């Protein structure tokens, strides 16, 4: 057995379809480094951070050290490639999601939604200015699209207004659920151009006059992620800080489609975390004189979770293969997000059920985190119903959106 095969067997024992064999030697080395960092630096206190709604100190810095955009390990045997492979991106999200769904959500907002807003929406000069610093984590960002009264209908319901006054833009409005806004250096804020009625996007700094950021409290899911309400009152932004290539809702949709696959990846990682947490529990917990793992009904549920995970991993592999060839298809990504999030929710409920009363103790047992976080993954980046309507429209040719 080669060293790569040995590492993969240890790293992804739940990968019964051997999807990880498609990774290069260099990618496997970096993923092993990633897993080692998570386990050695953050495992001990992860449940307490979730219960206390605090970000583990040093998480962003440690992820930045891995250089997951530019690390030479990612380009070994891929000469000429300019970006990490999609299969690596799946397994990176999967690995962090398996450890904790809040952490991959927080990182996903930065590396996916936020980073891609600058990458897709910026001019050449803006891309050169911001993207390298975002990739290295020298700068942190987020994604300010959703509003207090508009979630999935935001494409036709943006109420934040930007008005051109001389050589400045003045922004008024509010944004809600913005993950990591309170720790971001640059915030891409989407608004409607008052004159044209079309969307625009601006780079806003948290310290600017008129910007107020309040972290939402008392969440039942993704508690490590600081979701914020941003209020913008007469915030002045120069034309230089308008992202030049965001001028329509199609431009925004391109960003969303590119990251919806990432949500499918996160959900799959959460499913793997559910399996691991449940297995760890049933092997050591005894009832009626023997470990829970010895009971038929328990094994049937474990088998269902493993089956859900195998199907979800296979879907992600297919999606990664499509996107490797530039195929960012809204139906494919919506189907993957919809079904993988649904199966995560189902699997986490089964795992939580197996663990009984202990399964609701978030500060002590891992399964409580995954059970609660599955609810948020089921909703964010397009609810189950909205993704279903995207697929239904493609199937029938009729739009059922109101």
Residues of the chain with CATH 2.40.110.10: 154-241
Per-residue model confidence as pLDDT tens digits over 223-277: 999 999 999 999 999 999 999 999 998 899 888 877 888 999 999 999 999 999 9
pLDDT category, 398, cuts 50, 70, 90?
very high
Residue 1: pLDDT above 60? Answer: no
CATH number of 154-241: 2.40.110.10
CATH 1.20.140.10 fits 249-396, yes or no: yes
Nearest to 151 by CA among 386, 353, 397, 391: 386
Per-residue model confidence as pLDDT tens digits over 60-103: 999 999 999 999 999 998 888 889 999 999 999 999 999 999 99
Residues of the chain with CATH 1.20.140.10: 249-396
Per-residue model confidence as pLDDT tens digits over 28-56: 999 999 999 999 999 999 999 999 999 99
Per-residue model confidence as pLDDT tens digits over 148-192: 987 666 666 789 999 999 889 999 999 999 999 999 999 999 999
- Within 10 Å of residue 122's Cβ, how many Cβ atoms? 22
Dist. CA 238–CA 361, nearest whole Å = 49
Per-residue model confidence as pLDDT tens digits over 307-326: 999 999 999 999 999 999 98
Chain-centroid distance of CA 342 in Å reads 16
Residues of the chain with CATH 1.10.540.10: 3-135
Dist. CA 25–CA 27, nearest whole Å = 6
Report pTM: 0.94
Dist. CA 88–CA 182, nearest whole Å = 29
What is the structure's pLDDT at 155? 62
Nearest to 196 by CA among 163, 240, 229, 245: 163
Q: Which two tokens stand for residue 162?
A: 């930007």
CATH number of 3-135: 1.10.540.10
């Amino acid at each position: 057995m080669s060293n790569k095969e040995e590492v993969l067997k240890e790293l992804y024992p739940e990968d019964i379809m051997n999807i990880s064999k498609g990774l290069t030697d260099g990618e496997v080395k970096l993923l092993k480094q990633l897993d080692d960092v998570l386990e050695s630096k953050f495992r001990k206190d992860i449940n307490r951070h979730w219960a206390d709604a605090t970000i583990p100190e040093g998480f962003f810095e440690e992820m930045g050290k891995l250089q997951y955009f530019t690390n030479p390990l990612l380009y070994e045997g891929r000469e000429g490639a300019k970006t990490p492979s999609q299969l690596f991106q799946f397994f990176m999200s999967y690995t962090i999601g398996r450890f904790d769904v809040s952490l991959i959500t927080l990182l996903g907002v930065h590396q996916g939604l936020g980073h891609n807003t600058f990458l897709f929406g910026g001019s050449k000069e803006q891309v050169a200015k911001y993207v390298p610093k975002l990739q290295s984590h020298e700068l942190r960002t987020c994604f300010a699209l959703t509003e207090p009264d508009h979630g999935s209908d935001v494409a036709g319901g943006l109420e934040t207004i930007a008005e051109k006054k001389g050589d400045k833009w003045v922004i008024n409005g509010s944004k809600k659920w913005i993950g990591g806004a309170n720790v971001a250096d640059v915030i891409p804020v989407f608004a409607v151009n008052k004159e044209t009625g079309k969307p625009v996007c601006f780079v806003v700094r948290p310290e600017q006059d008129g910007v107020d950021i309040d972290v939402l409290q008392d969440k039942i899911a993704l508690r490590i992620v600081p979701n914020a309400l941003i209020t913008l009152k007469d915030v002045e932004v120069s034309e230089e800080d308008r992202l030049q290539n965001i001028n329509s809702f199609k431009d925004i949709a391109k960003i969303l489609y590119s990251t919806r696959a990432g949500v499918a990846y996160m959900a799959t990682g959460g499913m793997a975390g559910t399996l691991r947490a449940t297995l760890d529990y049933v092997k050591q917990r005894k009832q009626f004189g023997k470990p829970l793992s010895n009971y038929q009904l328990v094994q049937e549920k474990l088998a269902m979770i493993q089956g859900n995970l195998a199907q979800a991993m296979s879907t992600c592999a297919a999606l990664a293969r499509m996107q490797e060839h530039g195929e960012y298809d809204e139906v494919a990504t919506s189907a993957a997000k919809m079904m993988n999030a649904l199966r995560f929710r189902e699997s986490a409920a089964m795992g939580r059920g197996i663990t009984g009363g202990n399964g609701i103790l978030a500060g002590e047992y891992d399964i409580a985190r995954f059970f609660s976080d599955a609810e948020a993954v089921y909703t964010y980046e397009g609810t189950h119903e909205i993704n279903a309507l995207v697929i239904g429209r493609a199937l029938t040719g009729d739009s059922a959106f109101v």
